[in-house]
DNA sequence: AAGTGGTCTAGACCACTGG
DNA sequence: CAGTGGTCTAGACCACTTT
């Protein structure tokens, strides 16, 4: 869409009203009929907005009852206080630092090279160490296809690759596949993370694709195990 | 729904046709107009079916082009929905064994007891060791609220809790929040998993809810780190 | 009985893609 | 240009929950 779709702006409006307490957790949203009147739109549009909220874990629709606001504090999952880079980084008062270790041209690694044709395997390799309060948390290794992103300025690697891809280059990032495993780190990684040699590290590998299904980026994130936390909201979906 | 909705059976039909190669990876599905004729239904119904396939990572819709079949072979371990040990086990055709270690009444642990009212904290505690090919893989510890499931037969704990909940008790399991961390295991857990004392284990904690938003089950899964793999298909969603 | 969400239909206009 | 998916509308009937 060029301008934001109506159902999306309604979803965003409802979302912020939930966030700011206008619809408290446990309460119900207005009925679909009431929302039709409120936003002056058709039922289908309201239902698409509510579907967005449902997919994001903000509400649960109950037949015959209504749309119930859920407790969306996924980051206060009731376990003791492990804090990750991305969590800490959201709170801006923390001293997060990104150190660029490599920024160079490299071919895609063998194990994922079958994602693309041979002539497109040229990539930019970026290795970055993320620290918080002088403590190393995670090493990110990115391969970004040069056929899609010809050049990555050093200043971009120091801040946010995604912001550059989406806002500057207008790339439409659509989906990714991820895997999480726990493996012994190589010596260099352990050294960077300030861990004893051969220590276990958490490895998150992702393959990222654009909206036209073209493969675009391969990322390996190597986490200190004591600073790793992954949280997820999952709906039980139809078995296909 | 009592009988399966039309859009869901279309989604399942398309899914199996993709699975069995009638629509190969990289090819396009028939257009929405063609599918309307094929299934003799309205466009909205076709679109809801395609949306199911999209959410499950089977296709990617491209404006002006069509619906492209994605490669899903990479995901032999789909935990991105809510999937259990025995569900996995069916798909992978392995020799799995479940040993019941505890099956008794216990109150919910303190740290998650605030999920429910005090008078409802009575739960059934089930601890099970899951083995594949004689090798211990994971210890599952479940707390199931007695207010919702009064009794769990031993035979059920040996096979599948979910099948019992959904097929026997007709519970409508709707969503869950999960976290994944890596922590030193306690001595008993390490012993069960055949690991040295104090070894790191992967801990997956989930809170599961029914369609009426009532909290229902708390699960802790303790995995051998060398046998743990979590894979996920994630779409970039609208920021709400 | 009244209100709620779930499904399905039929039609319309738009933006994007391709030949 | 014709074909594609994206959005929006207006109406209908159903199953479920509450009063």
d(CA A73, CA A87): 12
CATH number of the structural domain B6-69: 1.10.10.10
* Cβ-based contacts of A235 with chain B (< 8 Å): 81-82, 174-175
Does A44 contact strand D, using a CB cutoff of 7 Å? yes
User: The tokens of B235 are what?
Assistant: 């779409």
pLDDT exceeds cutoff 80 at A149: yes
User: The tokens of B81 are what?
Assistant: 């929905």
Q: Which residue has the tokens 């190393």?
A: A136
CA of B204 to C1' of C7 (A): 36
Contact B202 A182 (CB under 8 A): yes
Three-state secondary structure string covering chain A: CCCCCHHHHHHHHHHHHHHCCCCCCCCECCCHHHHHHHHCCCHHHHHHHHHHHHHCCCEEEECCCEEEECCCCHHHCCCCCCCCHHHHHHCCCCCEEEEEEEEEEEECCHHHHHHCCHHHCEEEEEEEEEEECCEEEEEEEEEEECCCCCCCCHHHHHCCHHHHHHHHCCCCEEEEEEEEEEEECCHHHHHHCCCCCCCEEEEEEEEEEECCCCEEEEEEEEECHHHCEEEEEEECCCCC
Per-residue pLDDT tens for A1-54?
Answer: 457 899 999 999 999 999 999 999 999 999 999 999 999 999 999 999 999 999
CA of A178 to C1' of D5 (A): 28
CA–CA min distance B237, chain A (Å): 8
Higher local confidence (pLDDT), B54 or B234:
B54
CA of B62 to C1' of C16 (A): 9
pTM of the model: 0.90
Higher local confidence (pLDDT), B52 or B236:
B52
**Amino acid whose CA is nearest the C1' of C4:** A64
B176, β-bridge pairs: A234, B208
**Reported confidence tier of residue A93, pLDDT bands at 50, 70, 90:** low
Residue B80: its pLDDT value, please?
Answer: 42
- Which nucleotide lies closest to B172 by the C1' atom and the CA atom? D16
Enumerate the nucleotides of strand C whose atoms come under 7 Å of any protein CB. Answer: 3-12, 15-18
Mean pLDDT over the full length of chain A: 87
Q: List the single range of A26-40, A167-181, B13-27, B182-196 with lowest mean pLDDT.
A: A167-181
Higher local confidence (pLDDT), A84 or B217:
B217
| DSSP secondary structure letters along B26-54 | TSBPPPHHHHHHHHT--HHHHHHHHHHHH
Q: Which of residues 56-75 of A have CB within 7 Å of strand D? A: 62-65
Nearest CB neighbour to B240, from listed A58, A77, A177: A58
* Cβ-based contacts of A234 with chain B (< 8 Å): 80-82, 175-178
Residue A231: its pLDDT value, please?
Answer: 84
Cα distances from A31 to residues A72, A132, A156, A220, B240, in angstroms, run 20, 45, 45, 45, 20
Does B235 contact strand D, using a CB cutoff of 7 Å? no
Q: List the single range of A78-82, A139-143, B174-178 with lowest mean pLDDT.
A: A78-82
Nearest CB neighbour to A60, from listed B52, B174, B229: B174
d(CA A2, CA A10): 16
* Cβ-based contacts of B57 with chain A (< 8 Å): 175, 177
From the CA atom positions of chain A, what is the Rg in Å? Answer: 21
pLDDT exceeds cutoff 70 at A94: no
Task: Give CA torsion, residues A211, A117, B21, B34, to 10 deg.
Answer: 40
Does A47 contact strand D, using a CB cutoff of 7 Å? no
CATH number of the structural domain A6-72: 1.10.10.10
Contacts of residue A82, Cβ cutoff 8 Å, sequence gap at least 6:
A226, A227, A228, A229, B181
Contacts of residue A126, Cβ cutoff 8 Å, sequence gap at least 6:
A100, A102, A103, A140, A141, A142, A144, A152, A157, A161
CA–CA min distance B54, chain A (Å): 10
Contact A238 B8 (CB under 8 A): yes
B98, β-bridge pairs: B130
pLDDT exceeds cutoff 60 at A81: no
pLDDT exceeds cutoff 50 at A129: yes
Does A2 contact strand C, using a CB cutoff of 7 Å? yes
Percent of residues, chain B, with pLDDT higher than 90? 66
Judge contact between B12 and A240, C-beta under 8 A: yes
Does B61 contact strand C, using a CB cutoff of 7 Å? no
Nearest to A58 by CA among B213, B234, B81: B213
**Among chain A residues, CA nearest to B220:** A79
CA angle, residues B31, B37, B40, in degrees to nearest 5: 130
Judge contact between B127 and B140, C-beta under 8 A: yes
pLDDT exceeds cutoff 70 at B1: no
**Reported confidence tier of residue B78, pLDDT bands at 50, 70, 90:** very low
Contact B57 A200 (CB under 8 A): no
As a whole number, mean pLDDT of residues A77-89 equals 49
Does B110 contact strand D, using a CB cutoff of 7 Å? no
CATH number of the structural domain B85-227: 3.40.1410.10
Contact B232 A179 (CB under 8 A): yes
Residue A97: its pLDDT value, please?
Answer: 85
**Reported confidence tier of residue B92, pLDDT bands at 50, 70, 90:** low
Higher local confidence (pLDDT), B32 or B131:
B32
State the sign of the Cα–Cα–Cα–Cα dihedral A191, A197, A198, A200: negative
As a whole number, mean pLDDT of residues A53-66 equals 94
Residue B234: its pLDDT value, please?
Answer: 87
List own/partner pairs for A44-51 with CB under 8 A and 24 or more apart. A45/A6, A45/A7, A45/A10, A46/A7, A46/A10, A48/A7, A48/A11, A49/A7, A49/A8, A49/A10, A49/A11, A49/A14, A50/A11, A50/A14
d(CA B57, CA B25): 12
Does A34 contact strand C, using a CB cutoff of 7 Å? yes
Per this entry, what is the length of chain A? Answer: 240
d(CA A28, CA A68): 4
CA–CA min distance A97, chain B (Å): 23
CA of B62 to C1' of C18 (A): 13
Every domain of chain A and the residues it spans: 6-72, 85-227
Highest mean pLDDT among A117-121, A156-160, A234-238, B124-128: B124-128
Per-residue pLDDT tens for A168-221?
Answer: 888 999 998 888 889 999 999 999 999 999 999 999 888 889 999 998 999 999
pLDDT exceeds cutoff 60 at A77: no
Residue A180: its pLDDT value, please?
Answer: 87
Please give the span between the terminal C-alpha atoms of chain A, in angstroms, as a whole number.
Answer: 29
């Amino acid at each position: 869409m060029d301008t934001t779709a109506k159902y999306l702006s309604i979803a965003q409006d409802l979302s912020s009203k939930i966030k700011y307490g206008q619809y408290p957790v446990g309460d119900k949203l207005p009925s679909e009929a009431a929302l039709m009147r409120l936003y002056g739109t058709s039922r289908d549009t309201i239902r698409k907005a509510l579907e967005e909220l449902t997919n994001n874990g903000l509400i649960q629709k109950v037949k015959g009852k209504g749309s119930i606001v859920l407790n969306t504090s996924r980051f206060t999952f009731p376990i003791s206080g492990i804090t990750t880079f991305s969590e800490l980084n959201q709170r801006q008062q923390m001293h997060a630092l990104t150190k660029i270790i490599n920024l160079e041209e490299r071919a895609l690694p063998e194990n994922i090279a079958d994602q693309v044709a041979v002539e497109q395997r040229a990539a930019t390799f970026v290795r970055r160490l993320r620290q918080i309060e002088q403590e190393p948390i995670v090493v990110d290794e990115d391969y970004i296809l040069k056929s899609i992103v010809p050049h990555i300025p050093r200043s971009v690697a120091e801040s946010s690759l995604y912001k550059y891809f989406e806002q500057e280059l207008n790339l439409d990032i659509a989906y990714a596949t991820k895997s999480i495993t726990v493996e012994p780190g190589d010596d260099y990684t352990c050294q960077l993370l300030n861990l004893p040699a051969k220590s276990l590290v958490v490895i998150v590998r992702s393959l990222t694709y654009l909206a036209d299904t073209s493969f675009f980026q391969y990322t390996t994130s190597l986490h200190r195990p004591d600073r790793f936390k992954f949280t997820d909201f999952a709906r039980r979906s139809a078995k296909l």
